[in-house]
Structure 1
Amino acid sequence: MILGELLKQRRIELDLSQSELAEQVGIEQSYLSKLESDRSLPSDDILSAWLSALELTLTQVVQQFDPSYLQGRLRQIPSIDTYLQEQTENYQRQRRGWLVICGLLVALSLPIFYSGYTKVIFPELKYKYMSPGILMLGENPNYFRNWNDTVSDLESLEKLSVRMAERSNPDIMILDEYRGRQFTVPAPEADNPDYKRTYYADGTIQQPRMINGILQALGLFLAMCGVIGIALERRLLNK
């Protein structure tokens, strides 16, 4: 399909004779015959009048032809050359925008996946602390561990051992941060704020958090979207 043939078919669809169309365009019928046979190319003004008479737009016409005909023949018409340049620039802008978005998706996926994989934002390692009982007023923070050093005879030791067994009231605290081998704080369950507890480090535990799995999955998803987007853009460009 060439320009003249396309517009000739349109003229026939509108039931116009060559002479009628030539009059509307403002050219000789013989010149219109040359245009329809593609023996001549119209100027910008004539092409505009020609398309207007046939109730067509430049975009509708250009979309009917393959790239080789547009580049090799119709680009000689200034208005079509300008149109093709604008289309190329628009395509390049869209392509750059597409690639920027895909690149951002890939770049964003890395820290998201890393934060979920390393648990750096939402740590899963917890620190376990154990307190054997509540300290009374004036008692040494390590009294529950060193009480047997406070007596020297066996009878007193046995009596104190019974009392300490009665006072045994273990409590466990799970913390996100390490607070050293031991620390002393007011006993949370005691009415008297002067009663305290000494908590001793008792190992660590792992508490899996769903958010870290979600971050890893989200990072992989964004990376896949970015890579697939880049590959898709290349395939479309090759077309």
Structure 2
Amino acid sequence: MNFGEKLKQIRTARNLTQPQFAEAIGIEQSYLSKLENDKSQPSADMFSSIVKALQLAPQEFLADIDRAILQSSLRHIPEVSQFLNGEVQRRLHDARKYIWGAAAACLLGFAMMLAANDGIFFANNLYKYKSQGVILDGESDQIFEQFPKIESLKMAARTITTEESLKSQADFEANRVKVQTIEVWGNRGGVFFEPAGNGKRKFELVDVTYVHSSKNILLQYLGALLMFSGVLLVLVEWRMRKAGGGRHVAA
């Protein structure tokens, strides 16, 4: 929309004839006709008189006029220059917001992908622990390793026979050795204990396997999505600005 079209649009919307409007502004009807048909451009004083007569703020009047026309034909009017400079500042401010937002999204996305790969929030290592059985209250924590040695010492001291030792070890194996294996994501150290029945179980680390957990896979997908969104945000902002006729401003 050019200046004349905007002027005529407002006049007709208010049901004013050219003579009525020309009188309100204080100009000849012929000059108003030239303005509406873009055969003449208003001076700075004339523009001020027009917006004052219309009871409009300059930026309200100028908002719908093509920026190219403002730049080429109306730049000499202080209110127009101020309006255009304000738009540049707004575009710059908006562009910076988009760029900062996009940069934050990309950085956060990259951090999430890195955290998922390194297992910072959710472990990627699966720890396998094994327990031989329940250690009764008062027994040594090494009872399952020491029992065969104890039986051997008894035989050496001739306190029991070989048959008695073999039977004792068989009974121990049958009644006490109850192997339990568990797998956990968190590292609980080389050895840890857990209560069990009338005693406790001693779990020893036997294997560590790298397994990319489903939580970290999801975290990586979310990180990649954030990075993609950051790039897309800049592209969409640039396309919208280009489509709107604005000049893309880089921060």
Aligned partners of 1:2 and 1:38 also within 8 Å: no
Q: In structure 2, how many angstroms separate the alpha carbons of the residues matched to 1:220 and 1:107?
A: 10
Match of 2:247 in 1: none
Does the residue aligned with 2:120 lie in a helix, a strand or coil? coil
Is 1:50 the counterpart of 2:59 in the alignment? no
Q: In structure 2, how many angstroms separate the alpha carbons of the residues matched to 1:168 and 1:6?
A: 94
Structure 2 segments unaligned to the other structure (5+ residues):
156-160, 244-251
Does the residue aligned with 2:123 lie in a helix, a strand or coil? coil
Is 1:188 the counterpart of 2:195 in the alignment? yes
Is 1:170 the counterpart of 2:174 in the alignment? no
Q: CA RMSD in A?
A: 3.0
Aligned partners of 2:134 and 2:196 also within 8 Å: no
- Of 105-114 and 160-169, deviating more is 160-169
Q: Which amino acid aligns with 1:157?
A: S
Match of 1:156 in 2: 164
Q: Which amino acid aligns with 1:198?
A: K
Match of 1:143 in 2: 143
The CA deviation string for residues 164-188 of structure 1, in whole angstroms up to 9 with x for no partner, is 12222233344421422x45x4x61
Structure 1 segments unaligned to the other structure (5+ residues):
none
Task: Report sequence identity in percent.
Answer: 27
Aligned partners of 2:41 and 2:74 also within 8 Å: no
Aligned partners of 1:3 and 1:38 also within 8 Å: no
Match of 2:78 in 1: 78
Q: In structure 2, how many angstroms separate the alpha carbons of the residues matched to 1:198 and 1:12?
A: 92
Is 1:226 the counterpart of 2:224 in the alignment? no
Q: In structure 1, how many angstroms separate the alpha carbons of the residues matched to 2:18 and 2:204?
A: 103
Q: In structure 2, how many angstroms separate the alpha carbons of the residues matched to 1:149 and 1:71?
A: 99
Q: CA, structure 1 residues 136+83, in 2 after alignment: closer, same or farther (shift >3 Å)? A: closer
Q: Which amino acid aligns with 2:144?
A: F
Q: In structure 2, how many angstroms separate the alpha carbons of the residues matched to 1:201 and 1:177?
A: 9
TM-score (norm 1): 0.79
Q: CA, structure 1 residues 32+205, in 2 after alignment: closer, same or farther (shift >3 Å)? A: closer
Aligned partners of 2:118 and 2:124 also within 8 Å: no
Deviation, structure 1 residue 106? 0.5
Q: CA, structure 1 residues 16+177, in 2 after alignment: closer, same or farther (shift >3 Å)? A: same
**Superposition pairs for residues 199-210 of structure 1, below 5 Å?**
199-205=203-209, 209-210=213-214
Does the residue aligned with 1:65 lie in a helix, a strand or coil? coil
Q: In structure 2, how many angstroms separate the alpha carbons of the residues matched to 1:7 and 1:137?
A: 98
**Total equivalences in the alignment:** 231
